[in-house]
Each structure stands twice: as structure tokens, then as C-alpha cells.
A and B are shown apart, each in its own frame.
Chain A
């Protein structure tokens, strides 16, 4: 089994066991690419070069392939994101209802632009495309959680109550 040749600290045994369980659902190991990368990101918050090599060994593919995949998908982080990743939708339905103002407000109050993390590591701001929740425009996601029907004031209140 590939586990013996990889560093156990990158994914805990329980996650590795889950991955091997999942492997039974796919005819190739490469199909475990996104599930494995999600496990790494859940564990560490982002995906380092070392982690990519680790996943490559786990799936028996070349590290270049893993790197290609990580850089292709918007949701995988190649650097540590902030504790809270604020993803503001900028697509049409949200823009029609004030997404630009919201983004501007966020950048002004936090002093960071798209893709940046604030110095204390607490927040990151990302412009993202339609989140599939346009009935609640304007919308953002903080990490995996939706925040609906936003105004600058509502967003300020939301950020203030985060632990």
C-alpha cells in the first residue's frame, strides 16, 4: 500500500482510511484526486508543495499532475488563506444589487485587495463568480458558509461576531 512510503502526518489515519474506503467506488486511483486534495485542505487549510508530492504518491501519479490540478481549481489554496476567507460574488445578479459597493467597503475597512490576507492573518478577501444563490443577492461565503442578502452594515456586523 502506498501509505508506507508517505509521511503519515499530512493526513491522519482516519482520513486515509476514509480515502481507501472511497477508492472502492472508483476504477482508478487518480479519480481520488479531488477527494484527497479536499482532505488535505480540510486538515491544513491549504495545499503545500510537499502535500502535492504526498498526494502524488498516494494516488500513484506524477507530482506535476497534482500541481496542475491544484492550480486549475479556484477553491484550492496554494498559500495559507486567512482564518476567514470572505468570498464576495461579483457576477451579474449580485452586481445588480450592490456587490461592487460591498467589495469596495470590504477592501476599505480591511485594507486588503482581492487575494490578499490581512497582516494578522484573520481575513482574506476574494472576488468570486456566481455562487448559485442569486435569489439572496448580494451574497458572500465566509469559508464554506453562505451569508445572504448583504449590505455593508450587515457584513460589518457579521464579521464582528466571528469568533
Chain B
């Protein structure tokens, strides 16, 4: 892989610049470093222009799918009679992901300013921030920031003298991974079970309360003030190819310094691991595998990971995805059958149960994985898992089913000898267990 980043060192950090500033969550701190000036620039321009600027930036959604944000905003029907809504996805439930929490706790006004600009661009008066129920600390900080912004006139009837009313409301979830899926989120906000909807119609046309709706991840929207301040072209110069800008990486697992780190897209994984995360936690336990984008994406072997650059295209070429940028690092000595069983348990727990292939498939595959690990599996079980997986993928309302199938298939392919050894031994053959 070539190292193709083209950033100048001065713009390596956009989102995390103020994470360690004292009282970074306060309005005064935010305005002292130039905050709430980008939204004034935006309000001075026609909404279409603002969308155009974001299109130029190449900014892609940071929630998992990587869809270009400006393009999505352009899908709102022109001259619609109905109100337009903005929903911020702060559900942050993809295993291994914890970056949005940092933005909300450490720079909430950056998110709020991004919301102002986005509301103007899509002609919305009402934004909802759907935050997972477990993030009470983040919710309190965010609510305090919203209260400060209202008091200062940045939110409400006349933000920045624009005359364009914008209200922002936090909506607290109550524990359900599926409410991070955008249509599950809409259902939940409407007061129902978080059952994903069949698409089309897409939310930009029929979304929240039957109205045109844009749903974007917290990190996506937090990038918007910088883009309006410095221009879309400046943003597009950071990163590599179609992976423009910087990215917050969530590094967890067997590393010396787990945490959130920001780099331009295209950074080599090796650099992230060695220079940012401090390398592996045990010098005598080398890297075994990496899940690069939250548990829903295919796993990489150590040699694949150590040669890859962290951008949408490079990861795609290896058959995996950047996803939510939840980078889970696994050391030598870890049982991969057990690791997969832990992963399948998540999907079996979190399937909403609407589609039979997903409801039955996730729990069946999960049962087999634990049988392989603990005993009771038969040689036919491996073929059965493949068969179950083939009957799930692409046959359901949302992609939660695929999100279990993809890691499952990749684990079973890339670590096949371990699965075979479990069958041969009748259970996990590893000395129990290295898991601490």
C-alpha cells in the first residue's frame, strides 16, 4: 500500500483540537477560539450554497455507511410543503465505538454549530439529538451547552440574527442497538418500538413524522463548522482520494494506550497502533487480528492490518470496511472461536426480531459458536453456520443480519484451523483462558 496522505501538519486535527482544553464544553471557551462564526458565514449564504460547500468537501458520513453528507442533504425534495427535520444519530452503539461521546462531552458547541449550519442548509427548524440512554453524563453536558446556546441567542427564534428559528431537542434512548439504524431511530423518536422500516421510501423523502428528514452521525455534523470556516476545498485536501478529511479512531482491546485519536484519513494502521496507541500491551504477545470498523465488519489478520492504510478505499480493497472506526485490536493467544462467539452473542441479543431469518439466524449461529467453544458441537455445525449465514444475508429489512454474517464468515475463513481444532477437540483446545 502506498502512503498517500496529503495533509499539512497544521490541519491534522479538526475535531479533537480542544478536547483537552480546560472547560472546553463551555460556550465562552468555544467562542474564544472563534466558535459560532462559521454559522454566521453560512446564514449569509443561500442554503443551496452551503450544501454545495459540503459536497465540495467530500465529507462522508461517519456513522458507518460512509455516504457523502452533502449529497444526502440534496435529496430533500425542493419546495416541500412539509416541515423538514434533522436527526443527529448519537446512539453510538456499534461495539468498539466511543468517539461521539468525546465530541458531546468535550466540544458540544462544535456539534451545535454544525446543527445550526445543517438546519439552514436543508431548511429545517427542528433538530433532535437521539442519544443512547446509557450516556447520561454526555446528555447532561450537552443539555447544559444547549441551555447556554439558547441564553446567548445562538439557538431559538433568531440564531445569529438570521431570523430562521432553530430548536434543538435531546431525545434519550433506552437501550437498543437497533435504534442506531436510521429508520429504527425514527420509529423510536416517534414513540414506538425501534423496528427498522422498509426502504424505500428513504427518510429524506418520508422520514420523521412522515416528513423529509436528514439523519447524520454526531461526528459528521461536527465537521461542518470547519468546512464552512475554511471551505470545502481545504477540507478535501486533507486525507486521501475520496476519503477526505480527518477521522476519529476509537482504539480498544490489547493495546498499551486505548483511546480516541484523530488523524487524516489514509493513516497507516501501523502508525495508529505504534505511534498513537503505544503498541501492543504485552511485548511478548504480538498482534493477531484487527477488527477495523466496529464489530459489524470483516476481521483482518495481523499481516493484512499491518500493511493497510486506514481509509474507505484501502479497507474496501481488503474486503472489509471503515465502518464506525471502532478499531478492536486482538493479541496472539486469543481464541478466535471464543471472540466470534462473543460477537455473535451481541447480534443475537440485539436483533429486533422483525425478520425471521435474522431473529432465528443470529441466535442459532450464536448457539453453535458457544457449543464449539464449550463443547457439544458436531462436525456438521460448521456447514450449518455457513448455510444459516447464506440464508440471512440480503434477506432482511435492515442490515443487522448482514452485520453478523460478515464478521462470522471472515473469522471462519481466516482462522479456519482454529475452528477445525475446536471440532477435533470437542471444545476449545486452548489452555483456559488468556482473557485478562
Q: Is B134 an interface residue (CB 8 A)?
A: yes
Smallest beta-carbon distance B178→chain A, Å = 9
Q: Per a CB cutoff under 8 Å, which of B98, B326, B350 touches A129?
A: B350
Judge whether A135 and B171 touch: CB under 8 Å: no
Please judge, given known A-B contacts A25-B126, A27-B209, A132-B97, whether A93 and B169 are in contact too, CB under 8 Å.
no
Task: Pick from A7-15, A34-42, A115-123 the stretch touching chain B.
Answer: A34-42
Q: Is B92 an interface residue (CB 8 A)?
A: yes
Judge whether A34 and B174 touch: CB under 8 Å: yes
Q: Is B190 an interface residue (CB 8 A)?
A: yes
Contacts of B103 in A (CB 8 A): none
Q: Is A78 an interface residue (CB 8 A)?
A: no
Judge whether B191 and A59 touch: CB under 8 Å: yes
Chain A: interface residue total (CB-CB under 8 A): 47
Interface residues of B in 268-303 (CB under 8 A from A): 291, 295
Please judge, given known A-B contacts A33-B191, A91-B346, whether A25 and B174 are in contact too, CB under 8 Å.
no
Contacts of A76 in B (CB 8 A): 174-175
Selected A-B contacts with CB under 8 Å, 30 pairs = A22-B169, A25-B126, A25-B167, A26-B169, A28-B209, A34-B188, A35-B171, A73-B133, A73-B173, A73-B174, A73-B175, A75-B133, A75-B174, A92-B253, A93-B95, A93-B96, A93-B253, A95-B342, A96-B253, A129-B93, A129-B346, A129-B349, A130-B95, A132-B97, A132-B100, A132-B132, A134-B252, A134-B258, A144-B137, A145-B136
Q: Per a CB cutoff under 8 Å, which of A28, A91, A134, A136 touches B191?
A: A28
Interface residues of A in 1-49 (CB under 8 A from B): 22, 25-28, 30-35, 37-38
Contacts of A59 in B (CB 8 A): 191
Judge whether A130 and B193 touch: CB under 8 Å: no
Q: Per a CB cutoff under 8 Å, which of A25, A92, A101, A129 touches B328?
A: A92
The number of inter-chain residue pairs (CB within 8 angstroms) is: 154
Contacts of B136 in A (CB 8 A): 144-145
Contacts of A134 in B (CB 8 A): 95-98, 250, 252-253, 258, 326, 328
Judge whether A132 and B172 touch: CB under 8 Å: no
Interface residues of A in 58-87 (CB under 8 A from B): 59, 61, 65, 68-69, 72-76
Q: Is A113 an interface residue (CB 8 A)?
A: no
Residues of A within 8 A of B (CB): 22, 25-28, 30-35, 37-38, 59, 61, 65, 68-69, 72-76, 90-93, 95-98, 100-101, 128-137, 141, 144-146
Contacts of A26 in B (CB 8 A): 169
Contacts of B175 in A (CB 8 A): 73-76, 128
Judge whether A135 and B188 touch: CB under 8 Å: no
Contacts of B342 in A (CB 8 A): 90-92, 95
Q: Is B135 an interface residue (CB 8 A)?
A: yes
Q: Per a CB cutoff under 8 Å, which of B92, B94, B252, B349 touches A135?
A: B252
Nearest to B128 among chain A residues (CB) is A25
Smallest beta-carbon distance B273→chain A, Å = 15
Nearest to A99 among chain B residues (CB) is B435
Contacts of B433 in A (CB 8 A): 100
Please judge, given known A-B contacts A34-B172, A134-B326, whether A68 and B95 are in contact too, CB under 8 Å.
no
Question: How far is B136's CA from A32's CA once the two chains are assembled, in angstroms?
Answer: 18
Smallest beta-carbon distance B403→chain A, Å = 13
Judge whether A132 and B93 touch: CB under 8 Å: yes
Q: Is B391 an interface residue (CB 8 A)?
A: no
Please judge, given known A-B contacts A30-B191, A32-B191, A34-B191, whether A97 and B172 are in contact too, CB under 8 Å.
no
Q: Is B260 an interface residue (CB 8 A)?
A: yes
Task: Beyond A22-B169, A30-B191, A33-B192, list 20 extra A-B contacts (CB 8 Å).
Answer: A30-B192, A34-B174, A34-B188, A59-B191, A69-B192, A74-B176, A92-B291, A93-B253, A95-B342, A96-B253, A96-B339, A98-B436, A101-B435, A129-B350, A130-B93, A132-B98, A132-B100, A134-B250, A135-B258, A137-B252
Please judge, given known A-B contacts A129-B95, A132-B93, A133-B98, whether A95 and B435 are in contact too, CB under 8 Å.
yes
Nearest to A95 among chain B residues (CB) is B342
Q: Is B194 an interface residue (CB 8 A)?
A: yes
Contacts of A101 in B (CB 8 A): 435-436
Judge whether A93 and B132 touch: CB under 8 Å: no
Question: How far is B191's CA from A32's CA once the two chains are assembled, in angstroms?
Answer: 6
Smallest beta-carbon distance A150→chain B, Å = 11
Contacts of B98 in A (CB 8 A): 132-135
Smallest beta-carbon distance B44→chain A, Å = 28
Contacts of B191 in A (CB 8 A): 28, 30-34, 59, 61, 69
Contacts of A32 in B (CB 8 A): 191
